[in-house]
Amino acid sequence: MTQQTPIIQPPTIQPIRIFDTTLRDGEQSPGVALNHTQKLEIAHQLARLGVDVIEAGFPIASPGDLEGVSRIAREVRGPIIAGLARANRADIEAAAKAVELAERPRIHTFIATSPIHMAKKLNMEPGAVVERAIEAVRLARTFVDDVEFSAEDATRSEWPFLAHIFKATVEAGATTINVPDTVGYTTPEEMRALFAFLKGELPDHVILSAHCHDDLGMAVANSIAAAQGGARQIECTINGIGERAGNAALEEIVMAFHTRKDHYGFETAIRTREIYRASRMVSRLSGMPVQPNKGVVGDNAFAHESGIHQDGVIKARETYEIMNAELVGREAAVLVMGKHSGRAAFRKALTDLGYDVAEDRIKEMFARFKDLADRKGQIYADDLRALVDSRTDIPQTFVLEKFQITSGTDMQPLAYVRVTTPDGPREATSSGDGAVEAIFHALNKVTGIAPELEVYRVQAVTKGTEALGEVSVNTRYGEISIHGTGVAPDVVEASARAWLRVINQIVAGMGKSRQISQTTV
């Protein structure tokens, strides 16, 4: 008997839209407060990354949030720019105003549909919830053609009720229907079945979307299962940041579809080589470190420790690597520069790393680079990234000129600081329980501003004892949350820079209001 060669049909590849909500749900992560410039910078990176939709914020939250979304809408080209709105007139009008200058504006409106949310949170009957959703979508459609409707807590809602509210909102003009697993409760099997059910209920032109939270660590698996059930948009964030345990991580979903295209048959428009830079940028600006063992972007994701694995990788990389580091933009260990490098080489290195830095900024950054190269010697790609991402994007009322620390085992640490101000130099001395606290106190004294420290983190930018130290502080000043980072070869200096960055933001009236953030979804 002759053996027949099986005819293998290549899977039809289906496109999946990536809806990035780093700047909205991601910014709802505890302790995260991004200022406008930081949000704009992340939005530009998301556009370079190739996301289809950027959810830029929640405009009703405050005039500052509205302005932040509106700036992104005015300046970022390529992706659809969405603003979030609860299902009421004020929210929708604020979102409409914020996105009005976008090339492709979207209003994303939502209301809760689970029995517990409707009864306990909204205190509304299901019929009234449906009416409100219809009105909201109709109102949103008077401003834009692209309206997304979400049923908050959808995965704990009754399926027939979900189908009913979705049909009604589609008739009212919603073009994308989002199914959030708001509390991270669902499972991949349930999610796939729910999407298959909804797909059967709704007209073909409707884009079904999944929005999964990670409370049980299943957000990525649930998002992928949703796609298998019929979702064609996935809502996710860089590094998986977001409310509580976070959202589905963009980089993991994208690389799962990329690496296992043979199995899933999905593709996204993401430029994978921009992933690592997006991850580093979001981590630095948000002050949320990436765990070393995190898939795709963690420090150890491509590190092989055991001898057997190392031996295998040397013989053939594919023995233990299912994707290569360059594919996600990781060339971090490459030595790029030293203290003899000139300005042209510096500018080229930045361009090679994908940074588009304005000429007037290059001068100030080059001076900083020279100073670091003198003190540290070799400068790696990750050092350059840290330098660029920590650049000054806020008015510099106070600039650290010099500092000195006296400390030892038998004495209380004492810090001296000298800062320049528009009115001339100022000096102060103060003590603290440790060197870092002493310098914070001295800076409070010299500036007359005393934020409260909530979280202090320090990490090395690269490996080795000569690595740059990167300090990140989350602080509170009255009802405002402010985050600052500082980079320097010396940890105390990096701490002082991070602290002064916070103080300069306070002076400039920046930061995220806590009262308002509590009113968010």
108 is in an annotated binding site: no
Q: Does 286 bind ligand KIV (CB under 6 A)?
A: no
Shortest distance (Å) from residue 113 CB to ligand KIV: 10
Which residues have C-beta within 8 Å of that of residue 166, sequence separation ≥ 6? 149, 151, 174, 177, 198, 201, 202, 206
Return the range that interacts with ligand KIV (CB under 6 A); candidates 44-52, 136-144, 174-182, 393-401.
Answer: 174-182
Site for ligand KIV, residues 329 to 388, rule: CB under 6 A: none
Q: Does 214 bind ligand KIV (CB under 6 A)?
A: no
Query: Out of 17, 211, 330, 512, which residue is the one contacting ligand KIV (CB under 6 A)?
Result: 211
Shortest distance (Å) from residue 232 CB to ligand KIV: 17
Q: Does 150 bind ligand KIV (CB under 6 A)?
A: yes
Among ligand KIV, Zn ion, none, the one that 150 touches (CB under a kind-dependent 5 to 8 A) is ligand KIV
Shortest distance (Å) from residue 493 CB to ligand KIV: 39
Q: Does 175 bind ligand KIV (CB under 6 A)?
A: no
Whichever of 240 and 329 has its CB closer to Zn ion, that residue is 240
164 is in an annotated binding site: no
* CA separation for the pair 68, 72 (Å, rounded): 6
Beta carbons of 124 and 116 less than 8 angstroms apart = no
* CA separation for the pair 143, 96 (Å, rounded): 6
Whichever of 25 and 146 has its CB closer to Zn ion, that residue is 25
Among Zn ion, ligand KIV, none, the one that 152 touches (CB under a kind-dependent 5 to 8 A) is ligand KIV
211 is in an annotated binding site: yes
Shortest distance (Å) from residue 211 CB to Zn ion: 6
Partners of 19 in the β-ladder: 53, 235
Whichever of 212 and 494 has its CB closer to ligand KIV, that residue is 212
Residue 95's nearest CA partner among 103, 84, 87 is 84
Return the range that interacts with ligand KIV (CB under 6 A); candidates 175-183, 306-314, 398-406, 428-436.
Answer: 175-183
Whichever of 139 and 461 has its CB closer to ligand KIV, that residue is 139
Whichever of 157 and 472 has its CB closer to Zn ion, that residue is 157
Tell me the DSSP string of 209-256.
EEEEB-TTS-HHHHHHHHHHHT--EEEEBGGG--STT-B-BHHHHHHH
Whichever of 211 and 284 has its CB closer to ligand KIV, that residue is 211
Residue 483's nearest CA partner among 29, 18, 24 is 29
CA atoms within 13 A on the CB side of 487: 26
Query: Out of 182, 279, 481, 495, which residue is the one contacting ligand KIV (CB under 6 A)?
Result: 182
Q: Does 507 bind ligand KIV (CB under 6 A)?
A: no
Q: Does 180 bind ligand KIV (CB under 6 A)?
A: yes
Per-residue contact string for residues 52-91; x = within reach of ligand KIV by CB under 6 A: ----------------------------------------
Beta carbons of 185 and 194 less than 8 angstroms apart = no
Which residues have C-beta within 8 Å of that of residue 483, sequence separation ≥ 6? 31, 32, 33, 34, 286, 287, 472, 473, 474, 475, 502
Beta carbons of 19 and 52 less than 8 angstroms apart = yes
Strand duo 399-408 + 411-421: pairing: antiparallel
Size of the site for ligand KIV (CB under 6 A): 10
145 is in an annotated binding site: no
Among Zn ion, ligand KIV, none, the one that 110 touches (CB under a kind-dependent 5 to 8 A) is ligand KIV
Query: Out of 65, 91, 152, 382, which residue is the one contacting ligand KIV (CB under 6 A)?
Result: 152
Tokens of 12: 């039809």
Query: Out of 349, 357, 458, 521, which residue is the one contacting ligand KIV (CB under 6 A)?
Result: 521
Among Zn ion, ligand KIV, none, the one that 495 touches (CB under a kind-dependent 5 to 8 A) is none
Q: How many CB atoms lie within 10 A of CB 384?
A: 22
CA angle 171, 173, 175 (to 5 degrees): 105
CA atoms within 13 A on the CB side of 471: 23
Which residues have C-beta within 8 Å of that of residue 308, sequence separation ≥ 6? none
Shortest distance (Å) from residue 110 CB to ligand KIV: 5
Give the single-character DSSP code of 317: G
Per-residue contact string for residues 4-33; x = within reach of ligand KIV by CB under 6 A: ---------------------x--------
Sole residue written with tokens 């500082």 = 486
Return the range that interacts with ligand KIV (CB under 6 A); candidates 166-174, 178-186, 187-195, 335-343.
Answer: 178-186
- The footprint of Zn ion (CB under 5 A) covers 25
Strand ranges in 396-479 using DSSP code E only, listed in sequence order: 399-408, 411-421, 424-431, 452-460, 469-477
Whichever of 25 and 470 has its CB closer to Zn ion, that residue is 25
Shortest distance (Å) from residue 223 CB to ligand KIV: 13
**CB closest to Zn ion, residue no:** 25
Tell me the DSSP string of 136-176.
HHHHHHHH-S-EEEEEETGGGS-HHHHHHHHHHHHHHT-SE
Whichever of 245 and 521 has its CB closer to ligand KIV, that residue is 521
- The Cα diameter of the chain in Å comes to 95
**Which residues make up each annotated binding site for Mn(2+)?**
25, 211, 213, 247
**Which residues make up each annotated binding site?**
25, 211, 213, 247
Q: Which residues bind ligand KIV (CB under 6 A)?
A: 25, 110, 150, 152, 178, 180, 182, 211, 213, 521
